[in-house]
Structure 1
Amino acid sequence: MRWRKLGLIPSPRVGDWAVSHAMIPTPVLLADRIRLYVSCLDGQGIGRPGYVEVALDDPTQVLHVCAEPLLDAGRPGTFDENGAVVCSVVPGPVPGQWLMYYVGFELGTRIRYRLLTGIALSDDDGQTWRRWRETPALERSPKELFFRCGPFVQREAGGYRMWYIAGSQWTQVQGKPMPVYELRYLESPDGLVWGDTGQLCMALDPQRDEHGFGRPWVMREEGRYHLYYSIRRASLGAYRLGFATSVDGLDWRRDDAAMGLDVSAEGWDSQAIMYAAALRVGQRTYCFYNGNDFGRDGIGVAVRDDA
């Protein structure tokens, strides 16, 4: 693939809840615009989801920014009391309903944090949202103890498919404890109830110095599934992008070099590049992504020039 970087959509600055970052861009194609669900941080580093709407023909042109967060942080003691980060938005099982899958942050004492997945519902085309429940939809389980997060969900005939990140270990990277997680897979008939252990569909490669993957993004093109994902390597200390293909969405053939989108020589995406989300708009394919410090400055946009 060959991508041409178009520029940066700046992080929203719309109140105390959004003083920095536009993390994990999650695009949804509307009739006349693209809505990018993101999560912004307040002054204490607590994330809340919002959205930015951009033009179809020029995604660097901002049309609208939501003024208030779509969800607040959870009540004290809940799994998302320290923030909620949106990762996937899909049509729900009921006409007119949408489902938002988000990651809740729960700080630990003997470990740094736990990351578990919650669900929010919208009945007005994604304008307002409410929690499905205050406990995780992907609760921790014996084989996925600390991390059940980074979900990407796709609605297909007969139900819902989820690719997500899971793990039960920590490792030391440059003297700092860092999570270890790999790519797993689940199915659900209604998008709400999921199993407690997913099927492994991409393991970490120790030969590549990997200790974690970031939020996956799956597209179906030319009769195959295309997977865009982030790779965290201990030697780099930051994410890079990867790419893989599959016939069934379960057995993936990695071809990271084919991704063709990497860090810049300088600027806001010179140290890291992550959380790619590809979107087909007419004859063009855009890729939205984050750069340094998990999207501190905003959302990057690239367009594919070889398709």
Structure 2
Amino acid sequence: MSWHKLGQLYVPTGTHPKLRSHAANPLPVHLNGDTYRIFFSGRDEQNRSSVGAVDIDIAQRAIVAEYEDPFLEHGPAGSFFEAGVSVGSCYSINGQLYMLFMGWQNPPDGHWRGDIGRLRVTPSRTLELDLDVPLLGSNCIDPISLSYPWVEQCDNGGFRMWYGSTVSWDAGNGEMLHVIKSARSDDGHLWQREDVAVPYELGVVQAFSRPTVLKDHGKYRMWFSYRSGMGESYRIGYSTSENGENWELKLRDAGIDVSSSGWDSDMIEYPFVFDHNGRVYMLYNGNGFGKTGFGLAILD
């Protein structure tokens, strides 16, 4: 398996004070033809993230419309997303499209942390806050911090989620242990959390981020960003499963790595894999956690 990089697709203009830099966590929502509204998380001067968007024709790799104002700003003080909104994935319940996100908190007397929240995507492809409390917050199963969720509808009509959960801020090598867990739901609203889904290995792959899942002929394929804990910046990893429950790490089969130079030469992270017209595409970020914008790759 190999990804062919199609190049840097978008770099933020930084004209709005809430979107001064970064275009992290690109998330495409189809508009028409080859055009997608790609939502992303931009930052202000205090590093608080809000949601921006750009419409792009991915066949021509051309910007159709760029929006100066954010589609959703970070929350007010005291909210679970007061320090930022990092978009994850979308799923539909009875015709209503929802967008899940990681809501950031950065308390002055503690470590940054996150919870999972939910937005409504309107028919005109704007965003509205669905819940002013987390859809999934910390509890006895996930006591520290949660991150980027991905949801798939199951063949039986239920839903399965994969999401990030922090086990420790320092696993003994100066790097956090942040794993990918799973959850199930009958209706897409109430979720039953399960255990660790994807294997981890200290010093090899221990800080996971933003899983993206493709169901292919009954099998599951997952890409994610990760750090080894040995000082390297983010890379994109890969895992497979026959049933969506038992996953096997196949880091060498990810099919994509940093470039020898340019905007994604230091790190690649936050992948989003999707089908379009019979081809499989990946949106992803490069250097600086999205500071250099996002690019596009196609699966050979």
TM norm. shorter chain > 0.5: yes
Structure 2 residue aligned with 1:12: 12
Provide the rounded CA distance (Å) in 1 between the counterparts of 2:247 and 2:134: 28
Alignment map for 1:144-223 (pairs within 5 Å): 144-157=142-155, 158-171=157-170, 178-195=175-192, 197-206=193-202, 208=204, 210-223=205-218
Kept in 1, the 8 Å contact 2:167–2:179? The answer is no
Structure 1 residue aligned with 2:282: 287
Query: Of 47, 50, 53, which residue of structure 2 is paired with 1:48?
Result: 50
**Structure 1, gaps ≥5 residues long:** none
Provide the rounded CA distance (Å) in 1 between the counterparts of 2:220 and 2:281: 17
Q: CA deviation at 1:64?
A: 1.5
Structure 2 residue aligned with 1:117: 116
| Cα distance per residue 1:196-249 (max 9 Å; x no partner) | x432111321252x3310100001112211101111112234111111111111
Kept in 2, the 8 Å contact 1:150–1:214? The answer is yes
Runs of 4+ in 1 over 4 A off after TM superposition: none
Kept in 2, the 8 Å contact 1:143–1:167? The answer is no
Equivalent residue pairs, number: 297
| Cα distance per residue 1:22-70 (max 9 Å; x no partner) | 1111123333212222111112211111222211413x31112233222
Kept in 2, the 8 Å contact 1:27–1:37? The answer is yes
| Cα distance per residue 1:61-106 (max 9 Å; x no partner) | 1112233222221121111111111111222x232x2101011111
| Cα distance per residue 1:110-141 (max 9 Å; x no partner) | 542111111111332422x2222221111101
Provide the rounded CA distance (Å) in 2 between the counterparts of 1:83 and 1:10: 21
Alignment map for 1:1-307 (pairs within 5 Å): 1-13=1-13, 14-32=15-33, 33-58=35-60, 60-91=61-92, 93-95=93-95, 97-127=96-126, 129-157=127-155, 158-171=157-170, 178-195=175-192, 197-206=193-202, 208=204, 210-305=205-300
Kept in 2, the 8 Å contact 1:152–1:162? The answer is yes
Provide the rounded CA distance (Å) in 2 between the counterparts of 1:284 and 1:180: 34
Kept in 2, the 8 Å contact 1:98–1:125? The answer is no
Kept in 2, the 8 Å contact 1:98–1:126? The answer is no
Write the letter of the residue equivalent to 1:37: F
Kept in 2, the 8 Å contact 1:20–1:40? The answer is yes
Kept in 2, the 8 Å contact 1:7–1:301? The answer is yes
Write the letter of the residue equivalent to 1:188: S
Provide the rounded CA distance (Å) in 2 between the counterparts of 1:160 and 1:65: 33
Q: Over aligned residues, Cα RMSD in angstroms?
A: 1.9
Kept in 2, the 8 Å contact 1:143–1:168? The answer is no
Q: CA deviation at 1:173?
A: 8.2
Query: What secondary structure does 1:187 align onto?
Result: strand
Write the letter of the residue equivalent to 1:251: N
Write the letter of the residue equivalent to 1:300: G
Provide the rounded CA distance (Å) in 2 between the counterparts of 1:299 and 1:69: 17
Q: CA deviation at 1:193?
A: 2.2
Query: What secondary structure does 1:126 align onto?
Result: coil
Kept in 1, the 8 Å contact 2:214–2:222? The answer is yes
Percent of pairs with identical residues = 29
| Cα distance per residue 1:254-294 (max 9 Å; x no partner) | 21111110001111111111111122211322111011111
